[in-house]
Structure 1
Amino acid sequence: MITSPNTSNNTPDTSINKSIEVDMLVDEEIWGHRIYNEQTPWLCFLEFLGVLYSIHQDPNQQAFVEAKPNTLSYLPQYRLYLRNILFNNPRLVAVVKETTNEEGRWQRWLNYMKESGAGLSEQPDFHYLQQRFEKFTDFVKVIDFLRGTAIEGDSNKRWSSKFVFPYGPSCFYEDVAVSTRGSVTNDRRFFARTGEILYLMLCRSNRASELVPEFEKLLFTPNKWDKIVRALQPDESKEPNPSKPREGAYLPGGTRQRYQNLADDWLNIFRCSMPGYDALPHIVTIMGLHMILYILERASETIQRADRVTFVLEIISPEKNSVHQLATASYQENNRLTQQALEAYIDQKIAAADWQEAIANNDIATLRDLFRDDFALKDADKIDANQDAEKAIREFKARVFSRHQKHLEKVHSVWGSAIGLSSRRSSRYIRYTPKDILIKTLVLCTVSGRMEFQEFLHQLYEKYGFIIGPKQALQYFDAKKAEQDDFTMNAKRLEDRLASLGLLKRLSDACAYVENPFAQERQ
């Protein structure tokens, strides 16, 4: 049983009790249930879309509105006919090559799918496709197109964990496992609830009235691409779907400025005059950055660190200088924060009088109760009655750290690489060095028309804690950890990079403006 907060900012909410099926609750109490490294930013966004669309279609719920904190309940889709056709269909090419006439191709393929279609009824029926495609070759072309645009389509994930690009409502479905006997269960490996966490963050952003119309316009209104995907699916009455709502998501705390900043950045992107689907990679990229910031900020608060979370960004250079070294050190410092937070959280609990009394008396029976009450430790009864209390605590910490290192601790690295924030390029160690996709996204989120370059650097520091130029790096000059010229050249390299991307114009040697090319026609 987890106890979590329903108050503003970071105050624990003892009024909400949510049952979560896990072996212990430590990571979850700090960051929520749950953030997981194997769920990439794109998969997080796809899970989020499924949650949002389900609630948007539910007449008893309102999108981005929590009736009560941490009571999220939604009914996702399986869309197993679509997924079998796109990702569990290896004989398609052979059918085309080995059979020449249209009717023969259809019959051979339909017979094959009748035997191999998984997770469907005992007698899956794909005959509806013949009525929707005049030629088998047209059908094959549609499949090739959708496979080619699939999210992480070249991954070696099982077929039931592959996802079509989110062209519209017909494309939203959850990750599932399909057994050899055909039973279907929702799987929390790639849809690990991080998308649910994202949804709850936006519920608490106070931007519901502005966000909903943007999603309705871009993704929830059927369009020609969505209709193509819909054509591959039977009538909804024939689709197997879950009957039990998905519940159990948990996000600690109440409102946070981070959630509002994320929503504001999404709105800035939505309102740019770019083709709708072109906006989605930027939506995913900035979401990934805010999720990393959330993780690090929660860790920093837990260890009661006064300094804000910052990132020294090296704009790639042929020479290694103090910026390179500080970007590496900055990454390593941030990467340690989550484990430090875990230890601080546990130590804060154990410092309580009842814990200290149990430790002093080596009272294992009381210690078991405390482990259950404070950390929801399922197997607390297995703690040896003859064991030393201090040893039991050390062993518990080791389990917590091992669990953390396998998943949540890796998010900083995995997501940082995925969104173009961090890299090992030209170095033995990971450091913060932004790729073009992140730089473009930052311009879309920060520049409403045009902005003087130095002001742009200032805004990146204020919004995200990015240290790029000398004005943001004063602390390192005072501590004699860097040369001012190194940061001056670092900023100059970003200026040149923006110019090469068509995002900066120089009016003179001393005056450069960052320009958002899609902002001039904002609605």
Structure 2
Amino acid sequence: MLETLPPPPVGHHPNNAMWVDEQIWGHRLWDSTTPWLIFLEFLGVAEARDREGDLFGPGGSPYPLTFKPAQRMFARNILYNNEALVRIAAEGLSDAAAWDKWLPLMARAAQGIAKGDFDYLRSRFASFRDFAALIGMLRSSTIENGSNKRWSSRFVFPFGRHALYEDLNPKGSREYINFGLPGELLYQMIARSSLADALRPHLVAAFDGDPCDKLMALLEPPYSEDRQTRGNSYLPYASHQSFDDVARDWLSIFAQRLPRFDAYPHLARLSALHLMKYQLDVAAETAAMAKPTFICEVIASRRTPVRELSISSFQTNDALPQRAVEAYVAAIGSSGAWTEALEGDAPFHDCRSVMVEKVRWPDGDDYSGPQEPAELLASLRRAAVARHRQHVANVHRSYGAGAGLVSRRGTTQLRYAPTDGLLKTLILANVPVRMNFAEFLELLFERYGLVIGEREAARVLGSEDFDKKSFQSNSARLQRRLRTLGMLRRLSDACAYVENPLARGTVR
């Protein structure tokens, strides 16, 4: 079983009645989020640490990671709690009259601000009409604009540090609905990777200089925010291959020198993909099972053997996290401390003490069964599995779907079927200029565990499941898809190359 770092003090997480999922994967993986929200949460942490001069530095390492995220309630009220703006701008009033009408309305509508004084805006914009037009432009960049979120939980595109802020309710108190801490885990993963130093200058450059970020700065008055210290996330490993994997892919995307609007969707997608892989890889290691692979169907017009295998592959992987929870509980029962407790004068009492120290359970009336250590252990397993199924068990399908890997398209069952967006992201992250198609399939297998072609399928499937022709057809469909995306060139029937379109001009 993996060696983990010591857990945080019990008092740091008083609402956690059990510490099992957290000691396996960290505090916490949260299923009710999206790749973009994970990415925004990460950026908020990174910006706060950069402001303190400790981006990816050792401050608080390994626990706790503390930071003071921005709130920017003035800007958020102006952007999203401001229904009167468009109406007044359309009334054709003089500039002074428009400001005079809008400012008191905005002051009354503002929430989460001690004093709703927005008069500073009048001197910062050439006219009210220009101000309204610029607000409309910034609003149009809202992340996941179609979602039905309250105004205080809406997020503008991350142009820079002035466009980053934490999730709050309208009164200005912290919420965990959108930022459930996986972004903090992602930050710690990258900070503990071997590529943190190489990534640091790219993140620093992302925080300043964008013209739209300068516009966002104009929406805030000249004052010092009362920023609260955050940081109760916990990553249980000092190092892990998953940390280097996500950092490597991020570094590859930054190396493309793409504009933010083009680069950030790839970074968000990769974040969700690697967090999903982290969960499954750690689950497999905890349960002493083989590293998971992902049999991918390149969608066909009819049901194929590859689709059946992909469905089975998904179901096998989906069960891995629960098996890890069960293995973790079983390891408590086979530990030296448990064995010693069984041999003592009060085995039930002593075993209960071992369990409380290890997983913070049971507490109070959590357990009312027979005073038998075996029954206590069985009860912990049932309780841990039930708790696991509430959220952490759904991370695989939630993050996988968000990344573009997990899909029901063309069927009623979930399986692995990469989207065009994910394929493009993987090419940009892994193909510097061009790469032989067979080598590309092998790379996807070695780095991500993706099984698409016949060679990779032969390595993971038994003879009774392996159908060479089906996987040949699967890889042929991928070639056709990549060709329509402008990311594959066929030189002959036996020679095809995957191309990075951003580096195509350098191909010889």
Shift of 1:468: 0.2
Note closer, same or farther for the CA distance 1:16–1:116 as it changes in structure 2 (3 Å cut): closer
In angstroms, what is the RMSD of aligned CA positions?
2.4
* Aligned with 1:129 (options 112, 116, 121): 121
- Give the Cα–Cα distance (whole angstroms) in 2 for the partners of residues 475 and 296 of structure 1: 19
* Equivalent runs, 1:74-89 vs 2, <5 Å: 74-89=67-82
State whether structure 2 residue 166 is matched by structure 1 residue 187.
no
1:241 aligns with 2:226: yes
What SS class does the counterpart of residue 507 from structure 1 fall into? strand
Does the CA-based 8 Å contact 1:64-1:202 persist in structure 2? no
1:461 equivalent in alignment to 2:448: no
Q: Does 1:139 align with 2:131?
A: yes
Separation in structure 2 between the aligned mates of residue 97 and residue 365 of structure 1, nearest angstrom: 74
SS at match of 1:236: coil
Matches for 1:292-441 after TM superposition, within 5 Å: 292-305=276-289, 307-352=290-335, 355=338, 364-377=348-361, 379-380=363-364, 382-384=366-368, 390-441=374-425
- Tell me the residue number matched to 2:88: 95
**Residue 224, structure 1, aligned to residue 208, structure 2:** no
Report the CA distance shift for 1:134/1:269 in structure 2 as closer, same or farther (over 3 A): same
Answer with 33-42 or 347-356: which moved more. Answer: 347-356
Residue 186 of structure 2 corresponds to 198
- Residues 162 and 15 from structure 1, CA distance in 2 versus in 1: closer, same or farther, beyond 3 angstroms? closer
TM-score (norm 1): 0.90
Contact 2:6 2:236 in 1 (8 A): no
- Distance change in 2, residues 1:276/1:98 (3 Å): closer
Q: What SS class does the counterpart of residue 398 from structure 1 fall into? A: helix
SS of 2:501's partner is: coil
Moved more, 13-22 or 434-443: 13-22
- The aligned residue for residue 100 of structure 2 is 107
The letter for the 2-side match of 1:63 is: F
**Structure 1 residues 284 and 364 mapped into 2: Cα distance closer, same or farther (>3 Å)?**
same
* Maintained 8 Å contact 1:41/1:284: yes
- Structure 2's unaligned 5+ residue stretches are none
Equivalents in 2 of 1:477, 1:303: separation in Å? 21
Can you list the C-alpha shifts for 1:138-168, whole angstroms capped at 9, x where unaligned? 2222222222211112211222211111001
Q: Does 1:30 align with 2:24?
A: yes
Which range moves more in the overlay, 13-22 or 325-334? Answer: 13-22
Structure 1 residues 388 and 233, CA gap change in structure 2 (3 angstroms): same
Which position in structure 2 is the counterpart of 1:3?
Answer: none
Contact 2:8 2:234 in 1 (8 A): no
Closer, same or farther: CA 173–476 of 1 in aligned 2, 3 Å = closer
Tell me which of 452, 458, 483 is aligned to 1:499: 483
Q: Secondary structure at the match of 1:451?
A: strand
Aligned to 1:51: 45
Answer with 351-360 or 391-400: which moved more: 351-360
User: Which of 103-112 and 34-43 deviates more?
Assistant: 103-112
Which one is further off, 16-25 or 79-88? 16-25
Q: Matches of 2:152 and 2:61 in 1, distance apart?
A: 33
**Paired residue secondary structure (1:33):** coil
Partner of 2:270: 286
**Measured at CA, do residues 222 and 514 of structure 1 come closer, stay the same or move farther in structure 2, by a change above 3 Å?**
same
Deviation, structure 1 residue 201: 0.6
Q: Which moves more between the two structures, 369-378 or 254-263?
A: 369-378
TM-fit CA distance, 1:209? 2.2
Residues 36 and 143, structure 2, Cα contact 8 Å, conserved in 1: yes
User: For residue 42 of structure 1, what is the amino acid of its counterpart?
Assistant: W
- Counterpart-to-counterpart distance in 2, 1:149 and 1:163: 9
One-letter identity of the residue aligned with 2:262: D
Please give the residue correspondences for 1:244-283 in structure 2 after superposition, counting only pairs within 5 Å: 244-283=228-267
Between the aligned residues of both structures, percent identity stands at 37
2: distance between equivalents of 1:51 and 1:395?
38
Within the candidate set 138, 151, 164, 2:156 is matched to 164
2:7/2:236 contact within 8 Å kept:
no
Distance across 2 between alignment mates of 1:481 and 1:66: 51
- Segment of structure 1 superposing worse, 279-288 or 362-371: 362-371
Structure 2 counterpart SS, 1:513:
strand
Deviation at 1:379, TM superposition (A): 2.4
The two structures have a TM-score, normalised by structure 2, of: 0.92
Change (3 A) 1:363 1:138: same
* 2:409 aligned counterpart, secondary structure: coil
Counterpart residue type for residue 185 of structure 2:
I
Task: Name 1:116's counterpart in structure 2.
Answer: 109
Structure 2 CA distance for partners of 1:338 and 1:478, relative to 1, 3 Å: closer
| 1:247 positional shift | 2.4
Partner residue in 1 for 2:435: 451
- Return the letter of the residue paired with 1:241: D
How far off its partner does 1:36 sit? 0.4
Deviations 1:328-369 (A, max 9, x none): 111111111111111110111123365467679995543442
Distance 1:357 1:74 in 2: 42
Answer whether contact 1:365 1:385 (CA < 8 A) is retained: no
Q: Which 10-residue stretch deviates more, 152-161 or 163-172?
A: 152-161
- Distance in 1 separating the partners of 2:207 and 2:505: 23
Q: Amino acid of the residue matched to residue 20 of structure 2? A: V
Q: Distance in 1 between matches of 2:108 and 2:359?
A: 48
Higher mean C-alpha displacement, 474-483 vs 107-116: 474-483
Matches of 1:115 and 1:42, distance apart in 2 = 32
- Per-residue deviation, 1:99: 6.6
Asked if the contact 1:65–1:208 (Cα under 8 Å) also holds between the matched residues in 2, the reply is no
Q: Which moved more, 1:393-402 or 1:127-136?
A: 393-402
Shift of 1:58: 1.1
Tell me, yes or no, if the aligned pair for 2:56 and 2:190 is still in contact at 8 Å. no
Secondary structure (helix, strand or coil) at the match of 1:512 reads strand
| Structure 2 counterpart of 1:175 | 167
Q: Letter of the aligned partner of 2:146 in structure 1?
A: D
SS for the counterpart of 2:233 is coil
3-state DSSP of counterpart to 1:77: coil
| Deviations 1:241-268, CA, capped at 9 Å, x for gaps | 32x4212221112212221121111111
- Structure 1 residue ranges without an equivalent (≥5): 1-8
Contact 1:36/1:408 (<8 A) preserved? yes
Residues 1:212 and 2:213 are matched in the alignment: no
The amino acid across from 1:147 in the alignment is: R
Judging changes above 3 Å, is the alpha-carbon distance between structure 1 residues 476 and 23 closer, same or farther for their aligned structure 2 residues? closer
